Amino acid sequence: MDTHEPERLLGGYGGRLLLSASLGWTAIQGGRLLASPLLPAIQGDLGISATQAGLALSLLWGLYALLQYPSGRLSDRLSRKTLLVSGLCLVAVGFVLLATARSYGWFLLGAAVVGLGAGLYPTAARALVSDLFVERRGQAFGIHTSSGDLGGVAAAGLAAVVLAVATWRLAYLPVVVVVLAVAVTIHLWSREAYDFSRTDLAVVATARRLLGQRDLRLLLVAYSLYAFTWQAAAGFLPTFLQLGKGFSPGVANASFAALFVVGAAVKPVAGGLGDRVSRAVLVPAVLALASVGLAALVLADAPLPAALGVVAFAAGLMSFPPVMQAYLMDTFPDDSAGGDLGATRSVYIGVGALGPAYVGAVADLASYQLAFWGLVACLVAAAVLVVYLSR
């Protein structure tokens, strides 16, 4: 990696790769999040319950989490390019399987393949961003992570258009095209070589190094509570608004899009702010804002207050990742940064993967409102834990 070029967020070698890696993340997130606004149509077409839908989303997120550590470790030992291009190609196959699903079993297979391919990508992409940017790392992480929110906006818009004119399956085909196009650009632009040699994952040594630190253990608990809330809300927000509150599909899709529009706006700001002020103060503040916004959403009985709740929830929730990920990358040793980030992501995303299954099960047994009140409690607990850590 050439570290002597200026750290230009736009243009130059680093800027080109930041743009390409971010577009890839937009496509992956957009494809995965398509299931949320499409979920009522998918449930009706495949004849599945909320619990079954939640299990499919949890399978996708669970396999995604499982691959975080090995992908980070392999990107350290092999090359970032190897993991990025391989992950994009596998994701494309998974989206094709989802687009052709005619049964619940086939849909589960597609979700599993997407989860595996997506799991190879983000840790290597974040490690690449960390390689390219040092002085402007927080801002670069803000730009990169906000690209995933653009994927959420695209998912909401694409779902609305496709459902108006065709079957839900068609929505996945444009995603496949973009994913493959990004794979080609990374193949052409990256100066790294492909490396498919065998390497030791050093799972035990990494676990001992990370879990041996008390503060990091508690931080992982807080991050896991955040991830649980995020994945549950991302999976079921449109369904909650339609089936739990009786709002129209248009209101549900617009609220879902607003979640990511706000996220795309606040993440670069939060990342830059995290470079200048204490993260120990900033993190509990944004978690508190998210909990207030989500509580307002659950209490809302009309579209306008619900939308305001979504905006506040998104502003707090989406400000969290760039601040915390920059902090983690500052903490990890340079020679194991990708693997260490992947290990922590495997933990908190793995716990978070249970979120959609939780919402689906509670909704079937009781109500969506009760399920979302549980998510409010998770955010409050995470904020309290971070405040305790900062004492």
Neighbouring CB atoms inside 10 A of 198's CB total 6
Q: How far is Cα 248 from Cα 241, in angstroms, rounded to an integer?
A: 8
* Interior angle at CA 245, CA 242 and CA 251, nearest 5: 50
Q: What are phi and psi of 199, to 5 degrees?
A: -145, 155
Q: How many domains in the chain? A: 1
Residue keyed to tokens 């940017």: 133
Asked whether residue 169 is domain-assigned, the answer is yes
Q: What are phi and psi of 296, to 5 degrees?
A: -65, -40
Asked whether residue 5 is domain-assigned, the answer is no
Q: How far is Cα 274 from Cα 64, in angstroms, rounded to an integer?
A: 27
At residue 100, the 3 state secondary structure works out as coil
Q: How far is Cα 381 from Cα 391, in angstroms, rounded to an integer?
A: 16
Structure tokens of 381? 């607990």
Residue keyed to tokens 């079921």: 236
Whole-prediction pTM: 0.73
Cα of 312 vs its chain's centroid, Å: 19
Asked whether residue 104 is domain-assigned, the answer is yes
pLDDT of residue 39: 87
Q: Which of 130, 127, 116 is nearest to 65 (CA)?
A: 116
pLDDT of residue 273: 78
Cα of 230 vs its chain's centroid, Å: 8
pLDDT of residue 212: 66
Asked whether residue 3 is domain-assigned, the answer is no
Q: Report, as ranges of residue numbers, the positions in the chain whose pLDDT lies below 70.
A: 1-11, 14, 134-138, 199-203, 205-207, 209-213, 274-275, 278-279, 326-339, 341-342
Asked whether residue 6 is domain-assigned, the answer is no
For 89, how many CA atoms within 13 A lie in the half-sphere containing its CB?
10
Asked whether residue 356 is domain-assigned, the answer is yes
Q: Classify burial at 164, counting beta carbons within 10 Å of its beta carbon; exposed 0-12, middle 13-18, buried 19 or more.
A: exposed
Per-residue burial over 132-156, b if 16 or more Cβ lie within 10 Å, else e, is bbeebbbbbbbbbbbbbbbbbbbbb
Asked whether residue 267 is domain-assigned, the answer is yes
pLDDT of residue 2: 44
**Are 344 and 207 in contact, with CB atoms under 8 Å apart?**
no
Structure tokens of 299? 């209490």
Look up the domain containing 90 and give its range. 12-389
What's 45-87 look like in SS3? HHCCCHHHHHHHHHHHHHHHHHCHHHHHHHHHHCCHHHHHHHH
Q: How far is Cα 91 from Cα 83, in angstroms, rounded to an integer?
A: 12
Asked whether residue 4 is domain-assigned, the answer is no
* Residues in Cβ contact with 296 at an 8 Å cutoff, skipping those fewer than 6 apart: 305, 308, 309, 312, 313
Structure tokens of 87? 């992950």
Residue pLDDT, tens place only, 229-284: 998 998 889 889 998 898 988 888 888 888 888 887 888 788 777 667 766 778 88
Q: What are phi and psi of 23, to 5 degrees?
A: -65, -40
pLDDT of residue 9: 57
What CATH number did the domain enclosing 18 receive? 1.20.1250.20
